[in-house]
Chains A and B, each alone.
Chain A
Amino acid sequence: MSDANSSEAPPVAGDPVVRLEQVTKRFGDYVAVEEADFGIASGEFFSMLGPSGCGKTTTLRMIAGFEQPTGGRIVLEGRDVSRTPPHKRDVNTVFQNYALFPHMNIFDNVAFGLRNRKTPKDVVRTRVMEILEVVRLPDMAERRPNQLSGGQQQRIALARALVNLPKALLLDEPLGALDLKLRQVMQIELKRIQREVGITFIFVTHDQEEALTMSDRIAVMTQGRVDQIGTPTEIYHRPATAFVAGFIGTANLLPVTVRSQQGDEVTVDSRAGGQFSVPAGGRTHQPGSDATLMVRPERLVPTGAPLHGGAPAGTIEATVTSLLFQGPVVRCGVRTSAGADLVAHLGPEDDPAQFSVGSPITMTWAYDGAYLVPEAISADQAGVTHMDDDETAALAAG
C-alpha cells in the first residue's frame, strides 16, 4: 500500500474483524502476496480487486486458513490465527465452483457446519429453513445439488456458509461462473443478504464493475501488492497509481512534470507541451517530480461545450480518429498533436454531430475534472487505458 492513500481511507470503526499485519506469501521464489497490511471493519462489504495472479485469492485463502502466510500475522477478532487450521477458524467461504457436496441433499449441505458443531437437531432445522428463506430457496431442501441451476447452487453455497454466522464471510469470485444477467441479479441479492444478516463480507473479484457496485471499500491489488484501499468513489476519482486509474474504469493518462504548487493547486507541464492546473488532492507534490495527469472520458470535452467543475484547466489540440455511437454517449477517439490517443464520452450537450473522423478538435476539461496521480508513467503508457477493438481498427486503417 502506498503511504499516500492511507490518509484517504476512512477510519475503521472500532477494532477490525480481520486484520492483516505485513502478510507475505511466497511459493518458492514466487511472491504471491507482499506485505499486505489492512483491517476489515465489522459489517463491512470489503472487496479485493485485481487481475488474475495479483494475489487476491491467495490472500483470501490465507484468511480462510487454506494457506499459511510465510510472513506476518492474520488476526481474527484480536486473536492471531495465522497457524490455525481452517476448521478451527470462525470464518466461512463461498467457493468459486460452489463445492456443494454432491452426495447430500440441500438440507444436509446447509446443515453440515451446524452439525459439525453438535447443534441440537431442532435448532439445525429452524436455522437451515430460516437461511433457505433468506436466499429465497425454501422449497429446495430435499433436492440434490445437481438438480439445481447455477444461480440456485450459488445461493445454496451462500446459505451453507452464512448459516454458521461466521465472523466474516469469504467469497472467492462467487459470481464468475454465472452469465451476465444472473450476475447482475446476484450482485443486488448479495448486497441485500449482507444487509439482512449484517455479516462482514470479504469479496474477491477481477470485475471492477462488480466491486464498484457492491463494496463499501475496495483493495486494488496487482502483482502481489495492494496499490490502494478506499471507497469506490475514492478509487475511481483519486487513484493512487496509474494501474488503479486504468484498472477501474477507463482513464486518459498524460505524463507530466510538476512545476509548482500553491495551496491545493498544482501547476504541471505536459511532456507533450502545454501547462495545466490540477487539484493537489491533499498531497504535496515536489516541483520537478514526474507525475501522471488523469482525465476520465466523461470529463474530457470539446471546447465550447458546457463544463462542470470549474474553469477550463487547459486545452489539447487533437484530431478525431473514431466516433462510436454507444447509446447514451458517443465514444470519441482523438489523437493529440503529440501522438497520444485519448477517449472522450460525448453527451448530447457536446453536440457530437458536428464532428467527423479526421476533423480537428480542441479538447478541454474542468479544473476539478482532472486528478494528479503521484506516479510517473512512461511515454508509451500515455493515452487512454482501454481501447475498443473498433477504435484499434480505425487507428490501424487511418
Chain B
Amino acid sequence: MARRATADDRGLRKSKWAPYGFLSPGIIWLVLFFLVPVGILLKASLSTKPSRFEEPVFDWNFSNFSTAFGDYGTEFVRSFVFAGIATLLAILIGYPLAYWIATRGGRWKNFLIGLVVVPFFTSYLIRTIAWTSILQDDGPVVALYRLLPWVGADGRILATPMAVIGGLTYNFMSFMILPIYVSLEKIDFRLTEAAADLGSTPWGAFRKVVFPLSLPGVFAGSLLVFIPAAGDYLNNRYLGSPQTSMIGTVVQNKFLVQFDYPQAAALSIVLMVIITAMVLVYSRFLGTEGLAV
C-alpha cells in the first residue's frame, strides 16, 4: 500500500513539475542575461559618475533622465522616424517578394527562401561597409543619381538620411520577408477561389481575404524590423553623418567613447520604454487575436 502511494505521489509530482523542468534553461538564461543586466542598467541610470575614470556612485540621480529627454529629443525622434520609414519600405518591398515565393515558388520555394537568408552568411558589419563602397561619391550609383533633375552635380547619397534608411531597410529586410512568407504559406488558397466564386476580382480577393489573413506575419515582421532599427547605430556610423545620428549612436558613444555609463544607461532605458509602449499600442491597433486560423 505504502509503496503504491509513493509511486502515485511521485507520478503526480513528476507531471506537475515537468513543465518547469523544461522551462528552466530558458528561465535561467533570461534571469541571468536579461533581468540582471536590466537591473544593472537601471541602477547605473540612477547613478552619478564623479569623473571620467571613477566608478559610478548610486545616488538616485534622476537628472540623467531629464538630460535624456532634454538634450537628445532630436535623436529619439529621428530614430523612430528612420526606423518607421525603414519598416514601411521593408513591407512594401518584402511583401510582394514573400507573396511571389509563397504562391509562385512551386518546388523552388525552399531554395528561394534560402536565398533570402543568404546575406546572413556575411557579417552585418561587412555588409554595411560594403554599402559605403556601393554608394561612394564617384561610384556608378551616385553617377546615376546625379542624373535626376532635382539632384545637382555634387549630389551625394552617403551621409544622408536616404543612405541610413536604405541601410536599415536592407539589413533588416529578411526579418520582414520570413514571417510574412510563413503567414502566406499557411493560407489555404482555395479561399481565393471561394472569393472569386463570390464575385471578387483577383485584387478584391487579395484585399479582403489574403491580406487580412497575412497580417500576423506583417505584424511580426514590423516588430522584428522596427525594434532593432530604432536602436541601431552601425548604419548611421558608416552610411550617415553627425547630422543623421540616431539614438543608438549616442548610446554607443556615451558607453564606449565617453564612458558616461549613467547617461548611456538612462538613454537605453528610455528607448526601451518608448519601444515597449509603441509595441503595445501597435498590437492593440493591429490586434492579432481572432486572426488565428
Question: Do chains A and B stick together as partners?
Answer: yes
Q: Which A positions have Cβ atoms within 8 angstroms of B?
A: 64-66, 85-87, 91-93, 95, 97, 99-103, 112-113, 116-117, 144, 146, 160-161, 164
Closest to A90 in B: B199
Q: Is the CB of B198 within 8 A of A113?
A: yes
B204 to chain A, nearest CB (A): 7
Central interface residue in B195, B198, B208, B290, by most chain A CB within 10 Å: B198
Q: Is the CB of B194 within 8 A of A93?
A: yes
Q: Is the CB of B195 within 8 A of A112?
A: yes
| Chain A CB within 8 A of B200 CB | yes
Q: Is the CB of A66 within 8 A of B191?
A: no
Complex interface: chain B residues within 8 A of A91 (CB)? 197
| B242-293 interface with A by 8 A CB criterion | 290-291, 293
Give the distance in Å from the alpha carbon of A366 to the alpha carbon of B190 in the complex.
52
A388 to chain B, nearest CB (A): 37
Give the distance in Å from the alpha carbon of A55 to the alpha carbon of B193 in the complex.
19
Give the distance in Å from the alpha carbon of A66 to the alpha carbon of B208 in the complex.
19
Q: Is the CB of A116 within 8 A of B199?
A: yes
Give the distance in Å from the alpha carbon of A77 to the alpha carbon of B194 in the complex.
22
Complex interface: chain B residues within 8 A of A103 (CB)? 209, 212-213, 290-291, 293
Q: Is the CB of A92 within 8 A of B198?
A: yes
New A-B pairs, 14, CB < 8 Å, besides A87-B197, A87-B201: A66-B193, A87-B199, A93-B193, A93-B197, A95-B194, A100-B194, A101-B195, A102-B293, A103-B293, A112-B198, A113-B198, A113-B199, A116-B204, A164-B199
Q: Is the CB of B199 within 8 A of A99?
A: no
A352 to chain B, nearest CB (A): 50
Give the distance in Å from the alpha carbon of A67 to the alpha carbon of B269 in the complex.
58
B17 to chain A, nearest CB (A): 33
Closest to B192 in A: A99
Complex interface: chain A residues within 8 A of B204 (CB)? 87, 116
Bits for B37-68, please: 1 = Cβ < 8 Å to A, else 0: 00000000000000000000000000000000
Given contacts A87-B200, A113-B199, contact A101 B209 (CB under 8 A): yes
B80 to chain A, nearest CB (A): 30
Give the distance in Å from the alpha carbon of A97 to the alpha carbon of B196 in the complex.
16
Complex interface: chain B residues within 8 A of A164 (CB)? 198-199
B199 touches which of A97, A102, A117, A146 (Cβ 8 Å) = A117
B290 touches which of A85, A101, A117, A144 (Cβ 8 Å) = A144
Q: Is the CB of A95 within 8 A of B193?
A: yes
| Chain A CB within 8 A of B9 CB | no
Q: Is the CB of B194 within 8 A of A102?
A: no
Complex interface: chain A residues within 8 A of B190 (CB)? 95, 97, 99
Complex interface: chain A residues within 8 A of B200 (CB)? 87, 112, 116
A–B complex contacts, Cβ < 8 Å, 19 sampled: A66-B193, A66-B196, A87-B199, A87-B200, A87-B204, A92-B197, A95-B190, A95-B193, A95-B194, A99-B193, A99-B194, A101-B194, A103-B209, A103-B212, A116-B199, A116-B200, A146-B293, A160-B198, A164-B199
